[in-house]
Structure 1
Amino acid sequence: MEMHKNLKAALYIRVSTEEQAQDGQSASAQVETLKQYCCAYGIEVFDIYMDLGLSGKKLKDRKELERLMEACIRRQFDMVLVWKISRLSRSLKDLLYLIDVFERNNVHFASCSEMFDTSTPVGRMTLQLLGSIAEFERNTIVENVKLGLKEFARKGGKASAVLGYDNVDKKLVINETEAGLVRLIFNLYTENAMNFTAIARYLNSLGYKTKRGSEFRCSNISYIIHNPVYIGLNRHSMNTEREYSIRGMHPSIIDSGQWCKAQSLSSENEKRTVSKNSNTESLTLPVICMRCNSQMRVFYTYSKGKRYKYLRCCSCSNYVNVERLMKVVSRAIIALVDDKSAQEPAYRLICQDTMSIKSGGTEITAIEAEINLLQKSKARYLSLFEGYKISDTKAFIDRIAEIELQIKKLEQKKLELNRAAFASNTTADYKEYFCGLKDRLSAMEPEALSQTVCLIRSIEAFRDEIKIVLYL
Structure 2
Amino acid sequence: MAKTADTIAIYSRKSRYTGKGESIGNQIDLCREYIRTHYGDAAAEHAVVFEDEGFSGGNLNRPDFKKMMTAAKERKFKAIVVYRLDRISRNISDFSSLIEELGRLGIDFVSIRESFDTSSPMGRAMMYIASVFSQLERETIAERIRDNMHELAKTGRWLGGTTPTGYASESVKSITVDGKTKKACKLKLQKEGLLVTKRNHFELLTR
**TM class by smaller structure:** 0.7 to 0.9
Q: Partners in 1 of 2:197 and 2:169 — Cα distance?
A: 10
Q: Partners in 1 of 2:100 and 2:165 — Cα distance?
A: 50
Q: After superposition, what is the alpha-carbon deviation per residue over 1:33-53, rounded to whole angstroms, capped at 9, x for unaligned?
A: 111111112341431000110
Q: How does 1:69-148 map to 2 (within 5 A)?
A: 69-148=69-148
Q: Partners in 1 of 2:161 and 2:147 — Cα distance?
A: 21
Q: Partners in 1 of 2:121 and 2:169 — Cα distance?
A: 63
C-alpha deviation, 1:57, in angstroms:
0.3
Q: Partners in 1 of 2:146 and 2:169 — Cα distance?
A: 26
Q: Partners in 2 of 1:115 and 1:257 — Cα distance?
A: 62
- TM-score, normalised to structure 2, is 0.79
C-alpha deviation, 1:261, in angstroms:
4.4
Q: Is the 8 A contact 1:231 1:254 kept in 2?
A: no
Give the residue type in structure 1 aligned to 2:87.
R
Partner of 1:252: 189
Partner of 2:50: 49
Partner of 1:358: none
C-alpha deviation, 1:97, in angstroms:
0.6
C-alpha deviation, 1:256, in angstroms:
6.0
Q: Is the 8 A contact 1:84 1:111 kept in 2?
A: yes
Partner of 1:34: 31
C-alpha deviation, 1:249, in angstroms:
3.1
Query: Residues 105, 46 of structure 1: CA spacing in aligned structure 2 closer, same or farther, 3 A cutoff?
Result: same
Query: Residues 161, 105 of structure 1: CA spacing in aligned structure 2 closer, same or farther, 3 A cutoff?
Result: closer
Q: Partners in 2 of 1:46 and 1:257 — Cα distance?
A: 63
Q: Partners in 2 of 1:50 and 1:403 — Cα distance?
A: 56
Q: Partners in 2 of 1:231 and 1:144 — Cα distance?
A: 25
Q: Which has the higher helix share?
A: 1
Q: Partners in 2 of 1:46 and 1:28 — Cα distance?
A: 14
Partner of 2:11: 12
Query: Residues 161, 36 of structure 1: CA spacing in aligned structure 2 closer, same or farther, 3 A cutoff?
Result: same
Secondary structure, aligned partner of 1:21: coil
Partner of 2:165: 227
Percent of aligned positions with the same letter in both sequences?
A: 25
Q: Partners in 1 of 2:196 and 2:116 — Cα distance?
A: 64
C-alpha deviation, 1:86, in angstroms:
0.3
Q: Is the 8 A contact 1:230 1:254 kept in 2?
A: no
Q: After superposition, what is the alpha-carbon deviation per residue over 1:179-227, rounded to whole angstroms, capped at 9, x for unaligned?
A: xxxxxxxxxxxxxxxxxxxxxxxxxxxxxxxxxxxxxxxxxxxxx8x61
Secondary structure, aligned partner of 1:249: strand
Give the residue type in structure 2 aligned to 1:8.
T
Give the residue type in structure 2 aligned to 1:138.
R
- Greater relative contact order structure (CA < 8 Å, 6+ sep): 2
Question: What is the RMSD computed on CA atoms of the aligned residues?
Answer: 2.5
C-alpha deviation, 1:7, in angstroms:
4.0
Give the residue type in structure 1 aligned to 2:190.
I
Q: After superposition, what is the alpha-carbon deviation per residue over 1:107-132, rounded to whole angstroms, capped at 9, x for unaligned?
A: 00001111121121100110111100
C-alpha deviation, 1:16, in angstroms:
0.3
- TM-score, normalised to structure 1, is 0.36
Query: Residues 137, 161 of structure 1: CA spacing in aligned structure 2 closer, same or farther, 3 A cutoff?
Result: closer
Aligned residues: 185
Q: Is the 8 A contact 1:14 1:88 kept in 2?
A: yes
Secondary structure, aligned partner of 2:189: coil
Query: Residues 144, 152 of structure 1: CA spacing in aligned structure 2 closer, same or farther, 3 A cutoff?
Result: same
Give the residue type in structure 1 aligned to 2:165.
N
Q: After superposition, what is the alpha-carbon deviation per residue over 1:16-64, rounded to whole angstroms, capped at 9, x for unaligned?
A: 02xx43842111110111111111123414310001100000112x010
Q: How does 1:198-213 map to 2 (within 5 A)?
A: none
Partner of 1:368: none
